[in-house]
Amino acid sequence: MHRPSESSRRVSPQPCPQPEYSSAERRLLCELAHEAIVSRVTQRALRPFSPSEHLSELRGVFITLYLNGKLRGCVGYPLPSLPLHRAVVEAAMAAAFEDPRFPPVTLDESRQLRVSLSILSALRALRAEEVEIGRHGLLISHGGQRGLLLPQVAVEHGWDRLTFLEQTCRKAGLPTDAWSQGATIEGFSAEIFGDQDRTP
């Protein structure tokens, strides 16, 4: 599980030209994230859920929570280690109750939260010059240390490619030039959607 450095400014999900997930799937995943949080805070079991084959694929996912327009938690799984529906449940509960930057979400807060999901593509090796701001998230690793930043982080902060590489190295606890000194650079894209995308 991974906790990215996020600022308190909200990032609006960027429209995906060819979304992988339908409106119904997006709505279901958002509802699942909300229910996971409420079930945890009220100490009741999740309702039975029969996921489709698509929502059972192994995928990396990050859940970002907002309260009154401000960041309230962000936790995720960068690697595809769990079926998507299960990863959403686990990441939502972790974002609400285990992000060390925030106290656990209260019952009142749980009913006011806004949820944003970032579903990650598979990681692939990238050369530094191939990194595209707004398209790629980055995972930089070296010697057992690794740092990950989502695609929207670079856009949010107005970073260029070099700064994005440097900040991802910093996130990994590596020298900022490690990306050019033998560290592994991997990229991914993210399909980003949330409560504001849900249709009635």
Reported confidence tier of residue 79, pLDDT bands at 50, 70, 90:
confident
Percentage of residues in the chain having pLDDT higher than 70: 90
The predicted pLDDT at position 157 comes to: 94
142-151 average pLDDT score:
92
- Ranking 7-16, 103-112, 115-124 by mean pLDDT, the lowest is 7-16
**Fold of the CATH domain 124-188:** Dna Ligase; domain 1 (3.30.1490)
- Whether the pLDDT of residue 197 is over 60: the answer is no
In CATH, the number for domain 23-120 is: 3.30.700.20
The predicted pLDDT at position 8 comes to: 34
The predicted pLDDT at position 14 comes to: 43
pLDDT, one tens digit per residue, over 10-66 is 434 444 457 899 999 999 999 999 999 999 999 999 988 899 999 999 999 999 999
Equal CATH topology for 23-120 and 124-188: no
109-130 average pLDDT score:
94
Chain mean pLDDT for the chain? 89
Higher pLDDT, 32 or 80: 32
Going from N- to C-terminal start, the domains of the chain cover: 23-120, 124-188
Provide DSSP, the chain: -B-----SS--PPPPPSS-SS-HHHHHHHHHHHHHHHHHHHHT-PPPP----SGGGSB-EEEEEEEETTEEEEEEEESS--SBHHHHHHHHHHHHHHT-TTSPPPPHHHHTT-EEEEEEE---EE--GGG--TTT-EEEEEETTEEEEE-HHHHHHHT--HHHHHHHHHHHTTS-TTGGGTT-EEEEE-EEEEEGGG---
- Other CB atoms within a 10 A radius of the CB of residue 155 amount to 16
- Whether the pLDDT of residue 190 is over 70: the answer is yes
The predicted pLDDT at position 18 comes to: 76
111-124 average pLDDT score:
93
174-191 average pLDDT score:
96
Percentage of residues in the chain having pLDDT higher than 90: 77
Per-residue CA distances from 68 to 9, 95, 111, 166, 198 (Å): 11, 16, 12, 31, 18
Reported confidence tier of residue 198, pLDDT bands at 50, 70, 90:
very low
